[in-house]
Amino acid sequence: MIPSFYVELENIPLTHNGKIDREKLPEISSSDLIKKEYIAPTTDLEKQLVEIWEEILGIGNIGITDNFFELGGNSMNVIRIIGEIQNKMGKLINVGTFLEAPTITELVLVINTLDSGEKKVFKTII
């Protein structure tokens, strides 16, 4: 298991037996996540995608260069987002393509490629 991110602690709370006291560890919030410089969505497509991500991830101020997985996204969220994109925009994106395009900017390129009918080869994740 690989951690999504790390939180620096001055000291680790211990039980009276010397084990880590998990109940006394601080809660992790979205403000603990390392975010890049916020770049606001400008196009209608970017705004629609940001709205979907914010709704499903339960956080605000998602920029177009923020990485979905660095924001705490997981495989279940991917499925929900793909479903919302299909329901609201009529665009069908597969999971592998989403994994290769984990930012709004990259996802917009994928959707625009679908709209243009251009055949673009995305590498396959095995």
* Residue 15 belongs to a domain: no
* Residue 50 belongs to a domain: yes
What pLDDT, on a 0 to 100 scale, did the predictor assign at position 124? 47
Query: Which letter, b or e, does each residue of 2-26 get, where b requires 16 or more Cβ atoms within 10 Å of its Cβ?
Result: eeeeeeeeeeeeeeeeeeeeeeeee
* Residue 9 belongs to a domain: no
Report how far residue 56's alpha carbon sits from residue 43's, in angstroms, rounded to the nearest whole number: 20
Mean pLDDT, consecutive 10-residue stretches, the chain (126 aa), reads 70 92 82 71 96 94 92 94 94 92 95 71 48
What pLDDT, on a 0 to 100 scale, did the predictor assign at position 95? 94
Report how far residue 16's alpha carbon sits from residue 73's, in angstroms, rounded to the nearest whole number: 36
Give the chain's domain count.
Answer: 1
* Residue 3 belongs to a domain: no
pTM for this prediction? 0.67
CATH number where 69 lies:
1.10.1200.10
Domain enclosing residue 66, as ranges: 35-116
